[in-house]
Amino acid sequence: MKFKHLNSKLDYDDLLTETTNKGRLYTTPNGTRYPSITTVLSILSEDAIRQWRQRVGEEAANRISTRAANRGTAVHSIIERYLDNEEDYDKDFMPNVVENFLDLKPILDASVNNIRAQEVPLYSDHLRLAGRVDCIGEFNGILSIIDFKTSRKLKKREWITNYFTQEAAYAIMWEERTGEPITQLVTLITVDNEQPQVFIEHRDNWTELLLKTRDEYETRKMFGH
Task: Please say whether the dihedral angle defined by the alpha carbons of residues 30, 37, 209 and 207, taken in this order, is positive or negative.
Answer: positive
Is the pLDDT reported for residue 81 higher than 80?
A: yes
Domain regions of the chain by residue span = 16-222
Return the minimum-mean-pLDDT range out of 60-69, 99-108, 138-147, 192-201.
60-69
CATH 2.40.50 fits 16-222, yes or no: no
What are residue 99's DSSP bridge partners?
A: none
pLDDT at 167: 98
Rounded to a whole number, what is the distance in angstroms from the first to the last CA of the chain? 49
Helix (H) and strand (E) counts for the chain? Answer: 6, 8
Contacts of residue 200, defined as CB under 8 A and 6 or more positions apart, other chains included, come to 139, 184, 185, 186, 187
DSSP summary character for residue 131: E
Beta strands 142-151; 184-191: pairing state: parallel
How far is Cα of residue 33 from the mean position of the Cα atoms in its chain?
A: 20
Mean pLDDT of 54-77: 71
Cα→Cα distances 9→14, 17, 83, 198, Å: 13, 21, 19, 27
Would you say 25 and 36 are in contact if contact means Cβ atoms under 8 Å apart? yes
Contacts of residue 67, defined as CB under 8 A and 6 or more positions apart, other chains included, come to none
Is the pLDDT reported for residue 160 higher than 90?
A: yes
Q: How far apart are CA 171 and CA 76, in angstroms?
A: 19
Query: Please, what is the average pLDDT of the chain?
Result: 90
Structure confidence by residue, pLDDT tens digits, 9-56? 898 889 999 988 778 999 999 999 999 999 999 887 655 666 655 676
Is the pLDDT reported for residue 70 higher than 90?
A: no
Query: What's the full length of the chain, in residues?
Result: 225
pLDDT at 40: 93
Q: Over pLDDT 70: what percentage of the chain?
A: 88
pLDDT at 73: 83
CB atoms within 10 A of CB 221: 12
